[in-house]
Structure 1
Amino acid sequence: MNNFLFVAAENDALANCKAGGMGDVVRDVPRQISQRGDKVHVIVPSYSRLHQEGLFKTNLNFSLRGLTYTAELYEVKPKREYPNIVHYVLHHPEIEAGDIAHIYHNDPEEPFYTDAIKYFIFCTGVAEAIKKGAFGKLDIIHLHDWHSSLLLFLREYHGDYKNLKKIRTVYSIHNLAIQGIRPFDDNYSSVRNWFPHIEMDYMALMDYRYQDCINLMAVGIRFADAVHTVSPSYKEDILLPSSPPEFIGGEGLEKDLLKADEEGRLFGILNGCNYKNINAEESGFIYRNTVKALFRWLQEESKKYKADFLAHTGEKIMEYVDVRPKFIVSSIARLTEQKFYFFRRSPEAFVEILKKLKKVDGIFMLLGTGAPEYEELFRKLSYEHKNFIFTNGQSESLIDSIYLESDLYFMPSLFEPCGISQMLAMRNGNPCLVHYTGGLKDTVSHMKTGFCFDGDTYDEKIKSMLDGFDLALDIYKNDKTTWKKIQAAAKKKRFTWKKSVDNYYKVLYNFKAS
């Protein structure tokens, strides 16, 4: 039996411990490993809340800032039990819940200031737990994004944790754009302040652009035994320099990624999708579920500032409770530059789409929360356009309904490491219209399982997006045979975790697939 440790900032196997796609991966991959008879320990920070119902395991004492820190290790109950998987959280009062999903902090003045402190404490606590044998003798440590890469820094430079060198360590990149950059010195949230006695090689750790800083994403790429991107096409994208907005590539780390690739350490393996528990919602309830979600939010104190807008959305949706529109286009995502840059920079293109929909008695449904400037843009457009239904919140039952009842799913991401929404839409037989980039290239085939747009310049991309939309609408209206064929092909596609984890075993973990 092989023994694994997964170290991450999020784990959707636990309640209220997910902000993005990383949480899904950290939930699903251990389940696959457990099915093979291997053992997995999964650890995330407690964020001062997740340990409260947990079972205390041990105190962990370690040195930071020249002081002795004591953290507590708890075993916690997952949402669903599986054999051979044990879930833990590490609690220390300085690892607090942030304002993004009660996980990450948003420090606009000094990015990563608070999060770096949290994850310095967390990673050192995890290193101490490994040293103490809290997880038994480990064969593989699997790290996720910059929040856990400090374990590789400790393995390389910290005298107390040389034992980590004996364990194969894999590093997964979920979001290359968020890199965890902090100063080496002269700052409370600097590496030198937290690790004053470690002799470190500044050249090996530094960010190329800010040479007085460590880049923790780069540390993961430089020191891991295997580096993993969550789709094959995204791996190819990130070996080239970014040239936004036409192309988002290596985000300043392409040299490190090329070196990892040349050394045979970089692998692109597509994420899987969960094909169990599909369609928990009954068909025909999309508008009722919207109304239910809106009323629930209206009663929440934190939503009072947008009560008028929620009521406005409710009013619009009531029209459709009994009379279904002829064509529903939908998008579900965090409202960020990555997901909706094209709409924010070219709102006139989005308005053009709404006009095209109006001619066929269609609507556009968007569900999500995120950056204030994106929320404001979509609220404004919702007031101006009757057939744009913007639900400015989060609701699992409504998300299920949208995936179940849309006719076309729209995903105009500027870049996409893998993407899960297109897989969830396709499993319900919804064709997708996507930007031909990263993981979207690996999952949606133009005119076979959906529609793709692209271009060499920004203007070409926008034109291609509108042309792609016209094409989808035209086929839906005038060529039902082709539309049904595309729907059936989308529904038949299977991106399974079994296939992904077979590849993990072969190339990331260096085991024979079993």
Structure 2
Amino acid sequence: MKILFAVSECGPFAKSGGLADVAGSLPKELKSLGTDVRVILPKYGTISEEYKQKMKKVKEFTVSVGWRNQYCGIEELIHQGITYYFVDNEYYFKREGLYGYFDDGERFAYLNRAILEAIAELDFYPDVLHCHDWHTAMIPYLLRTEYYKRKGYGLIKTVFTIHNLQFQGIFPKEVLEDLLGLDYQSFQSGHLEFFGNINFMKGGLVAADKITTVSPTYKEEIQTPTFGEKLDGLLRARKEDLIGILNGIDEDFYNPAIDPLIDQNYKVDTYSKKSVNKKEIQKKFGLPQSAATPLLVMITRLTKQKGLDLVRCVLREILQEDVQVVILGTGDFEYEEYLRQAARVYPDKLKVYTGFSEELAHKLYSAADLFLMPSQFEPCGLGQMIAMRYGAIPIVRETGGLNDTVKAYNEFTGRGNGFSFQNFNAHDMLYTVQRALSFYHDQPVWKSIVKQAMEKDYSWAQSAFSYSQLYAELVSRSETHVF
């Protein structure tokens, strides 16, 4: 099978969130199953020179963006056995960031057409074109309404993965004709119309042969008005084509036994060595050095979605417990400022690092006893899986991928790899933190929880197998999705 991943970001080249982790890890696992998988993404200005110098230009052509024709170069790089194609256009992509520009509608309208044009230019006609989030969501729509007429395009099947339904790519309806070159029939039919605007993600949801989410629970949640972001009706209508496949993590990169970024390596049977890492973090942040005091860590975006309202509500009560708290992240100013002020009030209990450092994140995972992730919603979440891999026990809200990966400890059966609460309620979270702390002081029980957490399989193997089955099912069909 030939698979082409169409993405807006991909590790290790360009990353702003979990999509880059998926695009960087899943293709490698699929390749190990015998799939010819390639990845296409923009050539951003932020990509390291180390990679740019290894790229080879393979094609040049023009792309129609409404009434304009824009240059497109395709550069190729083979990295860790995977072929990557980079869409080169400095006007659109040579910028300091990936997203958040006034012309994002134009930038990604161009990218969608550039990727479709590149298929013929590269003479690589995939069996399945796998698109991700709103940035490449118009590809299935353009394929079904226009490109299917071209030689080689008619049999291409499409999969569209929702990584976060909250971000949909909503733009004024003028984008339809001016940038995408589509007539207003697409708007009037309701395929792309969204409360008077056009919605790129809706194009993918309407036109893709199959739709996947990044966890089974999130698949169910987005079919409800609470989590459906006003697209729940469409998702319910397509529920037969909607599949939840849980993400994994790169178990080579996140491996406490060999991680070069941490002070002391350890495995599940040498878990006691983890205390060295805790001591180093306490020293680094100026916390009292106490092996017996549990260390609770958050590594997160400081936003409402990540549960910072709950943290703000009961942080003082948490700090009354015998616990030290370290928070790493950046986000909304109001949360950053609140945490900085709280850290000044509790200098021996709370430390806050507003920013992000990959090395510091690894050190914190390796030092933490507990990992707090009280998300309002969480399509999948990687932090809780990384934490468990490092023996940091997660405290999570039962939503999305958190619900699928963290099984609350049951003191009667002795089974469980973390702690969880159901309602998005600050005092439910506080009670769960207090409950986790009480078990921490019962070391035989705690070691059992840690063992269950560290021994669980968090790799991409099962995810890749599920996707390969989905691809095979689509390829076996002679027909494509008709809308």
Identify which of 107, 116, 122 aligns with 1:118: 107
SS for the counterpart of 1:94 is helix
**Residue 269 of structure 1: which of 222, 232, 245 is its match?**
245
- Paired residue for 2:267? none
- CA–CA separation in structure 1 for the residues paired with 2:453 and 2:119: 44
Q: Secondary structure, in 3 states, of the residue corresponding to 1:445? A: coil
Alpha-carbon shift at residue 116 of structure 1 (Å): 1.7
Q: Per-residue deviation at 1:131? A: 2.5
| Alpha-carbon distance in 2 for matches of 1:353, 1:493 | 29
* 1:233 lines up with 2:217 in the alignment: yes
Partner of 2:315: 350
Matched, 1:144 2:132: yes
Cross-structure match for 1:68: 69
CA distance in 1, matches of 2:474, 2:178: 39
Deviations 1:266-309 (A, max 9, x none): 00011112222412112335675798xxxxxxxxxxxxxxxxxx
What are the equivalent positions in structure 2 for 1:65-144 lying under 5 Å apart?
Answer: 65-76=66-77, 78=79, 81-82=80-81, 85-96=82-93, 102-105=97-100, 113-132=102-121, 134=122, 136-144=124-132
Change (3 A) 1:472 1:195: closer
Q: 1:45 aligns with which of 18, 42, 45?
A: 42
1:413 deviation in Å?
Answer: 0.7
Query: For residues 18-417 of structure 1, what are the structure 2 equivalents within 5 Å?
Result: 18-50=15-47, 52-53=52-53, 54-76=55-77, 78=79, 81-82=80-81, 85-96=82-93, 102-105=97-100, 113-132=102-121, 134=122, 136-158=124-146, 162=150, 164-185=153-174, 190-196=175-181, 198=183, 200-202=185-187, 203-208=189-194, 210=195, 212-242=196-226, 249-261=227-239, 264-277=240-253, 278-279=255-256, 280=259, 281-283=262-264, 284-285=276-277, 317-320=285-288, 324=291, 326-343=293-310, 347-356=312-321, 360=322, 362-386=323-347, 387-417=349-379
CA contact (8 A) 1:95 1:122 kept: no
Percent pairwise identity: 29
CA distance in 1, matches of 2:181, 2:21: 36
Is the contact between residue 281 and residue 364 of structure 2 (CA under 8 Å) also seen in structure 1?
Answer: no
CA distance in 1, matches of 2:123, 2:353: 44
Partner of 1:310: none
CA apart distance, 1:385: 2.0
1:231-286 CA-partner distances (Å, limit 9, x unpaired): 111111111111xxxxxx1111101111111xx21000111122224121123356
Question: Helix, strand or coil: the match of 2:45?
Answer: coil
User: Within 2, Cα distance between the matches of 1:62 and 1:180?
Assistant: 21
Separation (CA, whole Å) in 2 of partners of 1:475 and 1:237: 31
The question of whether the paired residues in 2 share the 8 Å contact of 1:505 and 1:511 is answered with no
TM-score, with structure 2 as normaliser: 0.87
Query: What is the CA–CA distance in structure 1 between the aligned matches of 2:282 and 2:166, rounded to whole Å?
Result: 33
Q: Label 1:371 to 1:60 Cα distance change in 2 as closer, same or farther (>3 A).
A: farther
Which residue pairs with 2:463 in the alignment?
Answer: 500
CA separation of 1:46 and 1:318: change in aligned 2, threshold 3 A: same
- The question of whether the paired residues in 1 share the 8 Å contact of 2:157 and 2:474 is answered with no
Match of 2:433, as an amino acid? F
**Distance in 1 (alpha carbons) for counterparts of 2:147 and 2:5:** 23
What is the letter of the counterpart of residue 374 of structure 1? Y
In 2, the alpha carbon distance for the partners of 1:364 and 1:5 equals 43
Contact 1:231–1:442, Cα closer than 8 Å, also in 2: yes
Q: Deviations over 1:405-458 (max 9, x none)?
A: 111111011101111111011112221110011111111111111100122xx5
What are the superposed Cα offsets for residues 308-330 of structure 1, whole Å, 9 maximum, x if unpaired? xxxxxx7xx2344x555611000
Q: Distance in 1 between matches of 2:394 and 2:41?
A: 34
Alpha-carbon offset, residue 34 of structure 1: 1.2
Task: Specify the code of the residue in structure 2 equivalent to 1:30.
Answer: P
Q: Determine the C-alpha separation between the residues in 1 that align with 2:17 and 2:111.
A: 20
TM-score relative to the length of structure 1: 0.82
Letter aligned with residue 31 of structure 1 = K
Aligned residue pairs total: 447
Q: C-alpha separation between the residues in 2 aligned to 1:402 and 1:481?
A: 23
Whole-Å separation in 1 of the counterparts to 2:159 and 2:381: 21
Contiguous gaps of at least 5 residues in structure 1:
108-112, 243-248, 292-313
Distance in 2 between the 1:124 and 1:493 partners? Answer: 42
Unaligned regions of 5+ residues in structure 2, if any? 265-275, 410-415, 477-483
Aligned-pair distance for 1:127? 0.9
Any idea what SS the aligned residue of 2:248 has? coil
- Specify the SS of the correspondent of 1:95: helix
For 2:436, the equivalent position in structure 1 comes to: 472
Q: Amino acid of the residue matched to residue 453 of structure 2?
A: A
- In the other structure, the counterpart of 1:246 is none
In terms of mean alpha carbon deviation, does 417-426 or 113-122 score higher?
A: 113-122
- The answer on whether the counterparts of 2:109 and 2:180 sit within 8 Å (CA) in structure 1 is no
Structure 2 letter corresponding to 1:352 = E
In the superposition, relative to structure 1, how do residues 12 and 412 fare at CA in structure 2: closer, same or farther (>3 Å)? same
Q: Deviations over 1:79-130 (max 9, x none)?
A: xx22xx201211112223566xx2112x5xxxxx422211111111111111
Q: Which is worse superposed, 325-334 or 346-355?
A: 346-355
SS of 1:201's partner is helix
The secondary structure found in structure 1 opposite 2:305 is: helix
- Over the residues paired in the alignment, what is the CA RMSD in angstroms? 2.3
Deviation at 1:67, TM superposition (A): 2.1
The one-letter code matched in structure 2 to 1:28 is S
2-structure distance, mates of 1:418, 1:151: 24
Question: In 2, Cα distance between the equivalents of 1:147 and 1:153?
Answer: 13
| Secondary structure at the counterpart of residue 446 of structure 1 | coil
Residue by residue, what CA displacement relative to the aligned partner does 1:179-215 show, whole Å, maximum 9, x if unpaired?
1001112xxxx2221134646421333344x2x2111
User: Does the 8 A contact of 1:325 with 1:363 survive in 2?
Assistant: no
